[in-house]
Every structure is written in structure tokens, then in C-alpha cells.
A and B are shown apart, each in its own frame.
Chain A
């Protein structure tokens, strides 16, 4: 029996009908669960030997109106199998409970996701500016964030192609000495 199948079996035993579990490819096991089951599942997997939370990823599904959070767990005890726990949140409405008490390294991941996507993590002690100092705009990694418009307003850059055409018509000349 392969190690992936063992992990899938363990997950299926504990989840039952509450979530989907499948093998994406070699050494990649996925589980899709509702929001309230994420933290119990993380605690369960930590007990089983998945000690490392490698990353928390966020995907913005604009047309569906959902944010998808993916918790990436890794373990050497299971021959290097990764477990990805997926969950979906309603855009702009739902909050997510923080995973700090189970995995302390979630502190920075959650803080970054809050900054880049604007998801509020309940119970997180410090959700202020992280990488972007003095940021005043909307969260920049959202799909509905208009980068070109923001850049034009903040940095005063006009249409780049138009500017190039204008320069081609008036080629650069060396300044004369005063």
C-alpha cells in the first residue's frame, strides 16, 4: 500500500461524508472541507505527525465570489507526503478562525494574507501593515484591484504606449550648454 493511500484512508476515516479527499498526483493529497472543520483537521494531522505548516495560500475566485484558502502540510514521517487542506469563504463577508494556537508559524502567513487579500483572521493578535508600509489602497492581490488605475493615480504614470509614441515623434536631443 502506498503512503498516499494510507493518508487518504486516515483522512476518510475521520472525515466521513463531511469532506472530499483525493490524490492529485504522486505525494500530493488534497482534502476539501467546510470552514469550521479546518482547525480540527489541522490539529488531527499534527497529532499524526504532520508537524510542518509549509504555507497558507489564498486564491481569489472572482466569478464564483469566493476566496479559497489552502493549508499546505508536510511531513517526513510519511515519506514526504504533502497534504493540502482546501476551504472556501464567501468574498468580503466571512472571517476565518486563526490557526496560531495549533501552528505558531501561521502568524506571518495569516498576516500577509490579511494584507494582500483583506481576509480577517479571528483571534490573530496583530493584523496591521506587514510588508507594505503606509499602504492606503485596497488589498492589492484581489482580482478586482485595478493596478493600472492605482498606479496612474499614485505614481502619476500615464498610458505607457502613448508616451512611447509621443517620444518617437519628438526624438531626444542633447541639451545645449547654457
Chain B
């Protein structure tokens, strides 16, 4: 447990990227009632300066493309928190034709928060757990994305054409 890891875990910047219905839990978490900034967690507008990607809820295939694009732009080390039961197995969208079921197949996930919806306390709890994992050197799923890049791309290619797709200007 070096000084570098301790300071890294105490200054987590989160991409302000809200998907699904879990986004409604973010304002109370950010603002004065629960105030996640006292743990060094702050929202950040751009992926280039962020450490954490919080997936707040269900992802359609269309949103998943944007999430992957944001994730690949983030500098390492980077962490992903899956928020709510939708990211675990689809949640109430378990038989929907357009919602992905298991987030882990497409981007690596360090930590899941269960519940529908999780309370702000559990979000803060997840950030504390993530801090602990960083200090112990366990939160290194981002290496997995580099090592098994082909496997992730293969899974993504089942849903959309990985090479062809670009953001339309």
C-alpha cells in the first residue's frame, strides 16, 4: 500500500454520464444531504479527466456504444461501477429485446451495487469499497480490458458492427 495508491483512492473523479433511471439517485448523492465530495468523489464533465465510470441503470444497445466510447477515452487506471440490478442481469428488463443483460461481457466491471434503486448511502458505500480495493491493489479490471481486448470486442460485435460504427457528426 503505497502513498500513490492511497492518494489515488481518495480523489476519484466520476464521469457525469447518466444512463437509465439510476441517474435520479445522483443529485442527492452529490448535493449537501449526502455530499459525496467529502470522500473525494466529484463529478467530471469529460472522460479524459475522470477515473470512475458509473453505469446508472439499464443500457440499451444504442447507449452501450456511447458507454464503450467513453470508457475507451478514459485514461488508465480507470474503474467501472455497475449500479442497480439492471447491470447485473437485466433487472426488470430481463426479457427486453433491446437491453443488454450482463454488463461484464462488454466492459470490465470492478464493483456492483445491488438494488432497484440503490440508496445514496449504498453509492457512497460502493465508493468506499472501491477506495479500499484500490489501496489493496485489487481494482485492476482495466488491465483485463487490455489483455482480453479481443474477447470484449467479440462480445460487442454480437450486438453491433464494431469497426463500422462511428459517432455521427
- Cα(A151)–Cα(B102), bound, Å: 12
Q: Within A135-172, which residues are at the interface with B (CB < 8 Å)?
A: 137, 140, 145, 147-148, 150-151, 154-157, 160, 163
Q: B159 and A154: CB pair below 8 A?
A: yes
- Cα(A132)–Cα(B89), bound, Å: 21
Which residue of A133, A134, A151, A160 is within 8 Å of B97 (Cβ)? A151
Contacting residues, chain B, for A131 (C-beta < 8 A): 62
- Cα(A154)–Cα(B159), bound, Å: 7
Number of B positions contacting A (CB below 8 A): 19
Q: A147 and B94: CB pair below 8 A?
A: no
**B99 — nearest CB in chain A belongs to which residue?**
A155
- Cα(A154)–Cα(B98), bound, Å: 10
Number of A positions contacting B (CB below 8 A): 17
Min CB–CB distance B98 → chain A (angstroms): 6
Q: A151 and B95: CB pair below 8 A?
A: yes
Contacting residues, chain B, for A155 (C-beta < 8 A): 90, 100-102
The B interface, classified by DSSP as helix, strand, loop or mixed, is loop
Given A147-B95, A148-B95, A151-B96: A133 in contact with B101 (beta carbons within 8 A): no
Given A155-B102, A157-B90, A160-B89: A140 in contact with B159 (beta carbons within 8 A): no
- Ordered by A's residue number, 23 sampled pairs between the chains whose C-beta atoms are within 8 Å are A132-B98, A133-B62, A133-B65, A133-B160, A134-B161, A137-B97, A140-B97, A145-B97, A147-B95, A147-B96, A148-B95, A151-B95, A154-B158, A154-B159, A155-B90, A155-B100, A155-B101, A156-B101, A157-B89, A157-B90, A157-B101, A157-B102, A160-B89
Min CB–CB distance B159 → chain A (angstroms): 7
Contacting residues, chain A, for B105 (C-beta < 8 A): 156
- Is B74 interfacial (CB 8 A cutoff)? no
* Binary flags per residue of B72-101, CB closer than 8 Å to A gives 1, else 0: 000000000000000001100011111011
Contacting residues, chain A, for B97 (C-beta < 8 A): 137, 140, 145, 147, 150-151, 154
Q: B98 and A157: CB pair below 8 A?
A: no
Min CB–CB distance A143 → chain B (angstroms): 14
Q: A133 and B95: CB pair below 8 A?
A: no
- Cα(A137)–Cα(B105), bound, Å: 21
**B98 — nearest CB in chain A belongs to which residue?**
A132
Min CB–CB distance A43 → chain B (angstroms): 36
7 more A-B residue pairs beyond the given contacts A133-B160, A154-B97, A154-B158, with a C-beta to C-beta distance below 8 A: A133-B65, A134-B161, A137-B97, A147-B95, A147-B96, A151-B94, A156-B101
